[in-house]
Structure 1
């Protein structure tokens, strides 16, 4: 696999080795030994799968306490996936990185603990998978505003009206969230 560093230390784009022929393709989306050899010693405890229509924007979510690291990928459709550094001690606090993930490009995105995470579905029927390093904890879940001007995420929303959950519509700004130390 090929690991691509992002503009912020921590989040990584992971490009798996694809073995394909006229019958289809095969790749390992997770192999503990391979990831450990690449410096990612991860212990996943929960897998999640969501399906979204074009324009569904999920996030920007994080848990504090009980933070989750997430290894995310798309198996149908495509998304614009974003991680925002919400570690107050980080020189990159409030900065974001984004990557297009799709069934076609088969890229994965590692979002470590200390980051808010979200995505917008760019196609109908988009299916999004993610492995988490900690279980979901409703009492610890928080949302950062997807359109907070202090963060300034450049979402590819041309012709798309974002569809938010009630929870995400009530998300807080960067200066209001329970950020990490």
Structure 2
């Protein structure tokens, strides 16, 4: 039985004035980029009390959720490569919030876990999502719907990239 790869979906036809689609304000990627930068601005203010940057906060969220993780797995959760993740972990370790150790099961693997101080920060961080939600002006159901759409978009783009777009 022969299996042939499924063809990529047909490129959708753009509505009439296709030059209009080359405008910056017509690019969904730019809208997502602008929203991401705006979120970073809000997080910068909200996270100031914790002394964390947004990427450091994401690391702590993953560790609070999963506990001890191999660096590789942590990178997968955060969609970060080791070149980006290693300096983040070094700064968090210097701040006393995480500890990195060679795995007892596999010496090639380094595991990361929150320290006692890192775990204590979790209680103070509980207000962060509430403050960010308030900054959006959205209701929780709107945020959940947007999150679902963004998850679907991410999955579609991952598939397209894997198939060579």
Greater relative CO, 1 or 2 (CA 8 Å, sep 6+) = 1
TM bucket normalised to smaller:
under 0.3
Task: Say which structure is richer in strand.
Answer: 1
Tell me the TM-score normalized by structure 1: 0.20
